[in-house]
Amino acid sequence: MIKLKGIGAAGGISIGAAYKLGKEEFVVLPETITWEEIPLQIQLFEEALIKTRREIIELQKRISSDMGQEEAQIFDAHLLVLEDRMLIEEVISRLKKEQFNVAYIFSEVLKKYISVFLKIEDEYLKERIADINDVGKRILRNLLGKEKRGLDDLKEKAIIVSHDLSPSDTAAMHTKNVAAFVTDMGGKTSHTAIMAKSLEIPAVVGLEGITVKVNPGDILIVDGNTGTVIINPDEATLKEYQQELLKLRHIAERFSLVKELPAITTDGREILINANIEFPDEVASVKLHGSEGIGLYRTEFFYMNRKDSPSEEEHYQAYKYVAEQMNPHSVVIRTLDLGGDKFLSQFQIPHEMQPFLGWRAIRFCLARPDIFKLQLRAILRASVHGNLKLMYPMISGIEELRQANGLLQEAKDELRQKGMKFNDNIPVGVMIEVPSAAMTADILAKEADFFSIGTNDLIQYCLAVDRGNEKVAYLYEPAHPAVLRMIRMVIDSAHQAKIKVAMCGEMAGEPSLALILLGLGLDEFSVPPQVIPELKFIIRAIGFKAVQDIASEAMKLSTGTQVEEFAKDRLAEILK
């Protein structure tokens, strides 16, 4: 039994068998073949080599025209690997000798090559490992006839173990048999972690070295609440966690008694509790957990795991569906937030040194009005089917808001010309997630219909801590006095301008911190659906006056740890 501690990224406990997912890694099992089958296996190998060659040449041509010839030359080394006689001959001779399927033989030869290169003290040769690896995976994919990574193979619920997962990898788990996931890399509010919450599966990230320690098929306990992972637990531990699971279920049942009731404090202040979603079909779960509406619909996931971009009609149908399903409750559609840790191959966003500070979200949309206006038109068209609002991500100052609104106006004019109906008064909100927006919230409030504080980004920019980096995760503190002061400033500015302020970052779903946020005057919370019952339970158990006192006490403290402990103690008293 091995016990590891990482960062709990999505709550809950899961017990199950490990399924290792490498970067484009394929689990190739040995299958014995007969002597007669050898020519066919060689033919399959040759075809895979030809197909891979064609793919690389095509890729090279595209890179050459998009980025230049020098960048395209990188692929010459890949083509050389394909022609490596030694590698090809070794595969064929082992195939004849060992009589296993060619995919297995090739994966074994590949592993051997890489381990030999790893031992050589030569920087140039070391660099070739990446080429061999890359081409090798391509050949293997073609040999196996696979398009993408192996999640489709999961016949039973399994726990994914991976070095790292991109948000699009995680999005691909949406309809797959995944019970939980654990990764070497990652931070608490990376989009990968956020996706785990929306999939309602536990996740622990930042477990440096877990991929080395786990073997396929090992039994794992994943505790997303405490960030603990146990490999091959003994009987007693297994029992202990099974009991913990039951306990969690009882607590959830207790919270769920109030899920359909409004979130009103004991002295009558009503708070709106909304849900965050990434996919339209989550509305079912949103309703199940008693949400009053959707406070953040992250639309960029619509673009992931596909080769083309969604058309205006596809956008429209998705938003119409969500609007109709949630009507009369409101749905806040956040316009495309690409870049940062979310990349889409369709748009060929160049690799940047600091993607979170780069061509992201509204910056990308303002530079690509064609993509932006297509989405705006679809949102506008869907606005006649329910209570839709729209919201821009990553606004850093009033000029960006005005430019975005200018394009919104153009989108409206285009629809008018076509005689299409839309809600001309659709509320337009601003996400406050850049410190410059927080500091100028009074200016923005005059031209925005509402605010929504995106703490996932606001914290990373305020404290200079990459939200996805496990090495600095200890510095990522939602309760840091600097963060709390910014939040207070935003709420006060919004209220002075008589607009509402919501929070849709993960901080809003931290029950103890919710006490402080309530006390600071936050009007709305938008959280992962499964947190809603607990949040309602807490709000219904407290008075507004009492949380105002808690907030003002918290604002006097000097460190995030002090604030967190203070808030946890107050919450424990309330829940008692």
Shortest approach of ligand PEP to residue 326 CB, angstroms? 19
Beta strand 387-392 pairing with 330-334: parallel
Among 456, 493, 512, 530, which residue sits at the site for ligand PEP (rule: CB under 6 A)?
456
- Our finding on whether 454 is near ligand PEP (CB under 6 A) is yes
> What part of residues 3-62 is at the interface with ligand PEP (CB under 6 A)?
none
Binding string, residues 331-370; x marks residues near ligand PEP by CB under 6 A:
------x---------------------------------
Residue 223's binding partner among ligand PEP, Mg ion, none (Cβ under 5 to 8 angstroms by kind) is none
Alpha-carbon span 349 to 434, nearest angstrom: 21
Q: Residue 472 and residue 466: Cα distance in Å, rounded?
A: 7
Instruction: Single out the residue of 105, 114, 204, 116 nearest to residue 162, CA to CA.
Output: 204
How far is it, in rounded angstroms, from Cα 575 to Cα 554? 19
- Closer residue to ligand PEP (CB): 326 or 508: 508
* Residue 457 binds ligand PEP (CB under 6 A): yes
Query: What whole-number distance in Å separates Cα of residue 465 and Cα of residue 471?
Result: 10
User: Residue 528 binds which entry of Mg ion, ligand PEP, none, with Cβ cut-offs from 5 to 8 Å by kind?
Assistant: none
- Gap between the Cα atoms of 100 and 94, Å rounded: 9
CA distance 312 to 420: 13
User: Length of the chain, please?
Assistant: 576
Determine which helix (DSSP H) or strand (DSSP E) holds 294, and give its type and residue range.
strand 294-298
**91: its two tokens:** 């595969």
Residue 326 vs 432, nearer CB to ligand PEP = 432
Whether the upstream peptide bond of residue 328 has omega within 30° of 0, thus cis, is yes
Does position 455 interact with ligand PEP (CB under 6 A)? The reply is: yes
Least distance from Mg ion to the Cβ atom of residue 433, Å: 5
Contact 484, 478 (CB under 8 A): no
**Site residues (CB under 6 A) for ligand PEP, limited to 189-248:** 194
Is 298 a residue that touches ligand PEP (CB under 6 A)?
A: yes
- Least distance from ligand PEP to the Cβ atom of residue 200, Å: 17
Q: What angle do CA 539, 543, 544 make, to 5 degrees?
A: 90
Interface with ligand PEP (CB under 6 A), residue total 11
Asked if 528 interacts with ligand PEP (CB under 6 A), we say: no
* Residue 558 neighbours by CB distance under 10 Å: 8
Residue 489 beta carbon to ligand PEP: minimum distance, rounded to whole angstroms: 17
Q: How far is the CB of 505 from ligand PEP (least distance, A)?
A: 3
Largest CA distance in the chain: 83
Count of residues interacting with Mg ion (CB under 5 A): 3
**Contacts for 190 with CB less than 8 Å, ≥ 6 apart:** 9, 167, 205, 341, 467, 468
- Judged by CB under 6 A, does residue 505 bind ligand PEP? yes
- Answer with the entry of Mg ion, ligand PEP, none that 505 interacts with (C-beta below 5 to 8 A by kind): ligand PEP
| Known catalytic residue at 315 | no
Q: How far is CA 230 from the centre of its chain?
A: 24
Question: Of residues 78, 163, 174, 191, which has the active-site annotation?
Answer: 191
Please give the C-alpha separations between residue 61 and each of 101, 130, 336, 349, in angstroms, as whole numbers.
33, 21, 29, 18
188 in contact with ligand PEP (CB under 6 A): no
Q: Which is nearer to ligand PEP, 440 or 455 (CB)?
A: 455
Beta-carbon contacts of 377 under 8 Å, excluding residues fewer than 6 positions away, are 312, 411, 414, 415
Using CB under 5 A as the criterion, what x/- string covers residues 389-428 for binding Mg ion?
A: ----------------------------------------
CB of 163 or CB of 191, closer to ligand PEP:
191
End-to-end CA separation in angstroms for the chain: 35
Residues 430-449 that bind ligand PEP (CB under 6 A): 433
Whether residue 198 contacts residue 145, with contact meaning beta carbons closer than 8 Å, is answered with no
Q: Given the complex with ligand PEP, which of 4 and 441 has the nearer CB atom? A: 441
Confirm or reject binding of residue 504 to ligand PEP (CB under 6 A).
yes
Residue 462 annotated in active site: no
Q: Which of residues 428-467 bind Mg ion (CB under 5 A)?
A: 433, 454, 457
- Cα–Cα distance, 16 to 503 (Å, whole number): 35
Cβ 394 to Mg ion shortest distance, Å: 7
Write out the residues near Mg ion by the rule CB under 5 A.
Answer: 433, 454, 457
Write out the residues near ligand PEP by the rule CB under 6 A.
Answer: 194, 296, 298, 337, 433, 454-457, 504-505
Catalytic residues: 191, 504
